[in-house]
Structure 1
Amino acid sequence: MMRPFSQSTLKLTKVAGAVSATCELSEAELSKIEISGLTHNDSQVEPGDLFIAIPGANRHGAEFAMSAVSKGAVAILTDSAGAAYVQGIPVLVVADPRRVAGNIAALFYNEPMRDLSSIGITGTNGKTTVSTLIYQIFEAAGRDSGLIGTIETRIGKDAVESSRTTPEATDLQALSAVMRERHMRHLVMEVSSHAMVLHRMQGAHFAFVGFTNLTQDHLDFHGDIESYFAAKAKLFTYEFADQAVINIDTEYGARLADKTELPVISLSRLNPQATWHFAEIDTSGKQVHFKIRGSGGMLIESSTKLRGGYNLDNLLMAIAVAVESGVDPVDIAAAVPALSGAAGRLEEVSVGQSYSAFVDYAHTPDAVSNVLESIREFTSGKVIAVLGCGGDRDSSKRPLMGQALLKGCDIAVFTSDNPRSEDPSQILKEMVGKLKVSEPARVIEDRKSAIEYAVSLASQGDTIAILGKGHELGQEIAGKKLDFDDRKVLAQAIAGVK
């Protein structure tokens, strides 16, 4: 975990009072103890820390409390079950340590997200691309910014690989404090539905929150689509934000715009009643030329190398947020042609071949359909697509993804994604279901072989799409993460490298 260079201290009495914690020590005794940091991870404990022991799916964080003490933790915050693991150190007890961790961290770091003009983006698809585009616009306009998301965490020009889409609450507040210390003007981040349910956003606050769309995903975690929507919608309250930016072209976007208590800036690809909408889209050239109408009738005209209607939606949100954040529209129009979007999102792989080849992270039925539909727009020949479904995740979307693959391309190749602990052949059976997969379409379990087969079918004017893993650098099989980069494997296959 990255921490700010200069940190203050906080008396344990103030921590206890802020979250209504109980403790066997008296208030006078607690007032003599100060914390100089905090974390939920015992491996990240530094001397003087408060260790927040959170119950997990398999083990209680308090099982690691004495490890934290050995590294210098001066107090533990946990629930009553966790307190039983701790001896010889002050213990603050609360009903739900996960729920209060973010509030304690925000208190300790003095609410850094409010000093950064922070922007949070949520939705099933598009979070990474929208966040990256906003970050790129800010950087082009000379506004040093931080970025937190699925692929990476950036502080200005410095970048590290992200371990999850949205960090745990203690890490998020620490990262925000580092960004403030380094004089970043903005923080742009992805907010997952898991983060909302697991209270990682407690203590967070945004100037703007954006909603891209909502389609089937993560139902293994949320149970049903309405619970999934409710998790997203919770971000659009005054507890977490000042203003909402919502794409109203989908059912859930329109519902959220009506439901939220926040002031709404609406977005639409075609609806001229939306605050921000496209007035003109020309896809006839190598780049997409467009005109956008915004607040007060503002007109922004530019062109982009990003393809597909969903990417135009992503770009519209990025432009709207940037303008509403005070960036000069003239600067935005000048910057847009150079914007590249996020890694592994319709990312082209070219080694001089006569056909096109792309890698994309699409891993929901809707995303698969959208990507293939977009590729179809600029492909004169065949669309050849390779796709698998991940293990230990929402299995109900597998047949839907198989249908989207078969319907959206000319030649479908069904393969493995990240099977994790599941049997890859069983995942493929669920994905294919009752679909008729006949030559040249195939089911090839080994992902490398599937990619090589797709390449063997391609000729001039065709487009190959390798879907599902995007930017990922590994493949998780039976508890092991093996090196695997779709972009590298695809390039080697095209070049004939064995």
Structure 2
Amino acid sequence: MNRDFWLAVDFWLAASVPMTRPPAAPAALGRTVCDVAAHLGLAATGTTGELARSVTGVSDDSRTVTAGDLYVALPGEREHGLTFEAEAAARGAVAVLSDRPATALPCLVVSDPRRHVGPLAAWIHDHPSARLDVYGVTGTNGKTSATYLVDAGLSGAGVRNAMITGIAIRSPAGSWPAQRTTPEAAVLQRLLAGFRDEGALAAAMEVSSHAVSQRRVDGIRFRVVAFTNLGRDHLDYHRTMEEYYAAKAALFTPERAGAAVVNVDDPYGRRLCASTDLPVWTHSTRDPTADVFADGIACDAEGTRFTVHTPSGRLPVSLALLGPHQVANALTALTSLVLAGVDLRGAVHGMEQLARVPGRLERVDVGQPFLALVDYMHNSAGQRSLLPFLRSLTTGRLLVVLGATGDRDPGKRFRLGATAAELADVVVVTDESPRSEPADRVREAVAAGARSVRGGELVVEPDRRRALEQAAARARPGDVLVVAGRGADGHQVYGEQVRPFDDREQLAQVLDRRR
């Protein structure tokens, strides 16, 4: 299965989930096709009338083109974007940017069109990140939680703000579901321009390694970029840990950002501190010489508490979020905000009001006599961070439901199963989203890892709903049950079939029936 198919899946998912409000169209600057050509140093083909048309936006997907857009036709694995030029024209595109000539619209030809999308969209929308304090968060684990915490801290300090995560996008006027961790470059610039036009002064956003490698964040000027940690993930795309690290590190340059925040409890973080040319603020739960330091850490089923020490003062912090990993995420957020001059007390107050991060150790409670949670935990580093904590919450046993996603790094599947079996009493292996791979192959790789450890009970159940039922049937008073790997994801993908399935809703139904 190729990339074009998954783009179609993403589009279907986006169309199937209603927005609470559609993104507002940013104000146009009156750029023309001729102006765009001059900006790129190119000669455009077309009539005088065509070259005088106003360009009000950029789109690299013919299905989402709106009137006035410059359509960016990119080369694909199976088909070239120019295949869909007629559709883009019918939807109102006024010109094409591509690596080869178009036939139906005025065309700007460049050797690498993807390289131009972000900067060009930023220019067309009058450089929205110049009017916003944009806080970027990258790393393997913790990006979503840290971004939610930055958002909450800004709100608590009275800053009108917006947020972009892999779960949701929120502007001052409303919110809607996200379809990927970091949107494409043209979408990002449109979002930031909309935030600006709605009166936002800041925006918190997740930045994936894919987004950096694929130039989605080109054209954005970050006030602060923050690094959480690095562990094995996405090696289906980056191939090696060194390439994965390089993709993350490429965000930390003076051309992209004003300052860096780095977790120096992580070895890759310490390496990044030594290599970046940005001014760096560090944070730690181990090294009191870091710029921001946390001690007095206490974590239980009620939340997470610690004392934060910053250049702006010292304060106790009491989060509703569960798990010791949330201390590091909160430090990422607090360090970013304090560095940028945001009031510490207000930021802490805002973070303390954050009741949950969807799909991140999110409780599912229908009155059952044990703790049930859903979490995005999808790599062995996340398991080693969270499962010992969950063990500390139980007077009985720890039960884990997990699987692995198809068309993703196959090398981590065995480790997922082995780590779960090492740290839990009952492991139920099931399907997540096999995508184009045979489901039994993905599932068996996880199960093989679990069998390699002489641990507790192992159950293999392909059907995810029945797997939840199997786990719930084994849970006793005082136990902890966690459904891992998908978090807030609302769909499973089997080949070309996309099935609605939300772990939180399904688990609640299973538990309610048993109760």
Give the TM-score band, short-chain normalised.
Answer: over 0.9
Within 2, Cα distance between the matches of 1:337 and 1:71?
A: 46
Within 2, Cα distance between the matches of 1:140 and 1:186?
A: 13
Aligned residues: 492
Which stretch of the first structure deviates more once superposed, 167-176 or 46-55? 46-55
Pairwise CA distance, 1:143 = 1.7
Within 2, Cα distance between the matches of 1:60 and 1:447?
A: 37
Aligned to 1:440: 457
Q: Does 1:128 pair with 2:144?
A: yes
Given that residues 306 and 312 in structure 1 are in contact (C-alpha distance below 8 angstroms), is that contact kept between their aligned partners in structure 2? no
Pairwise CA distance, 1:170 = 0.7
**Amino acid aligned to 1:332:** A
Secondary structure (helix, strand or coil) at the match of 2:487 reads coil
Within 2, Cα distance between the matches of 1:29 and 1:130?
A: 49
Aligned to 1:48: 68
Secondary structure (helix, strand or coil) at the match of 2:200 reads coil
Displaced runs of 4 or more, over 4 A: 28-31, 436-439
Secondary structure (helix, strand or coil) at the match of 2:258 reads strand
Aligned to 1:275: 291
Given that residues 26 and 193 in structure 2 are in contact (C-alpha distance below 8 angstroms), is that contact kept between their aligned partners in structure 1? no
Pairwise CA distance, 1:492 = 1.5
Which stretch of the first structure deviates more once superposed, 414-423 or 298-307? 298-307
Given that residues 22 and 94 in structure 1 are in contact (C-alpha distance below 8 angstroms), is that contact kept between their aligned partners in structure 2? no
Which stretch of the first structure deviates more once superposed, 139-148 or 407-416? 139-148
Aligned to 1:375: 390
TM-score (norm 2): 0.91
Distance 1:131 1:333, change over 3 A: closer
**1:90-118 alpha-carbon deviations (Å, 9 max, x no partner):** 21000111110111101101110121101
Aligned to 2:368: 353
Aligned to 1:423: 438
Aligned to 1:495: 512
Q: Does 1:63 pair with 2:83?
A: yes
Given that residues 173 and 198 in structure 2 are in contact (C-alpha distance below 8 angstroms), is that contact kept between their aligned partners in structure 1? no
Pairwise CA distance, 1:74 = 2.0
Within 2, Cα distance between the matches of 1:111 and 1:342?
A: 30
Which stretch of the first structure deviates more once superposed, 5-14 or 406-415? 5-14
Aligned to 2:169: 153
Within 2, Cα distance between the matches of 1:4 and 1:404?
A: 47
Aligned to 1:16: 37
Which stretch of the first structure deviates more once superposed, 17-26 or 337-346? 17-26
**Amino acid aligned to 2:417:** G
**Amino acid aligned to 2:510:** A
Aligned with residue 198 of structure 1, among 214, 221, 246:
214
Pairwise CA distance, 1:31 = 6.2
**Amino acid aligned to 1:450:** A
Aligned to 2:277: 261
Aligned to 1:249: 265
Secondary structure (helix, strand or coil) at the match of 1:441 reads strand
Q: Does 1:112 pair with 2:128?
A: yes
Secondary structure (helix, strand or coil) at the match of 1:380 reads coil
**Amino acid aligned to 1:10:** R
Pairwise CA distance, 1:323 = 2.4
**1:329-377 alpha-carbon deviations (Å, 9 max, x no partner):** 2223333432224100000111111110100011111112212122122
Secondary structure (helix, strand or coil) at the match of 1:496 reads helix
**Amino acid aligned to 1:128:** T
Distance 1:246 1:489, change over 3 A: same
Pairwise CA distance, 1:22 = 4.8
Given that residues 20 and 94 in structure 1 are in contact (C-alpha distance below 8 angstroms), is that contact kept between their aligned partners in structure 2? no
Pairwise mapping of residues 90-489 of structure 1 onto structure 2 (< 5 A)? 90-156=106-172, 158-283=174-299, 286-295=302-311, 298-433=313-448, 435-436=451-452, 440-489=457-506
Secondary structure (helix, strand or coil) at the match of 2:297 reads strand
Secondary structure (helix, strand or coil) at the match of 1:242 reads coil
Secondary structure (helix, strand or coil) at the match of 1:194 reads helix
**Amino acid aligned to 1:395:** P
**Aligned alpha-carbon RMSD (Å):** 2.1
**Amino acid aligned to 1:159:** S
TM-score (norm 1): 0.94
Which stretch of the first structure deviates more once superposed, 8-17 or 140-149? 8-17
Ranges in structure 1 where 5+ consecutive residues have no aligned partner: none
Within 2, Cα distance between the matches of 1:6 and 1:284?
A: 48
Within 2, Cα distance between the matches of 1:227 and 1:34?
A: 41
Aligned to 2:19: none
Within 2, Cα distance between the matches of 1:74 and 1:288?
A: 53
Ranges in structure 2 where 5+ consecutive residues have no aligned partner: 1-21
Within 2, Cα distance between the matches of 1:161 and 1:142?
A: 24
**Amino acid aligned to 2:178:** S
Distance 1:3 1:76, change over 3 A: farther
Aligned to 2:18: none
Which stretch of the first structure deviates more once superposed, 308-317 or 14-23? 14-23
Within 2, Cα distance between the matches of 1:457 and 1:33?
A: 66
Within 2, Cα distance between the matches of 1:406 and 1:189?
A: 34
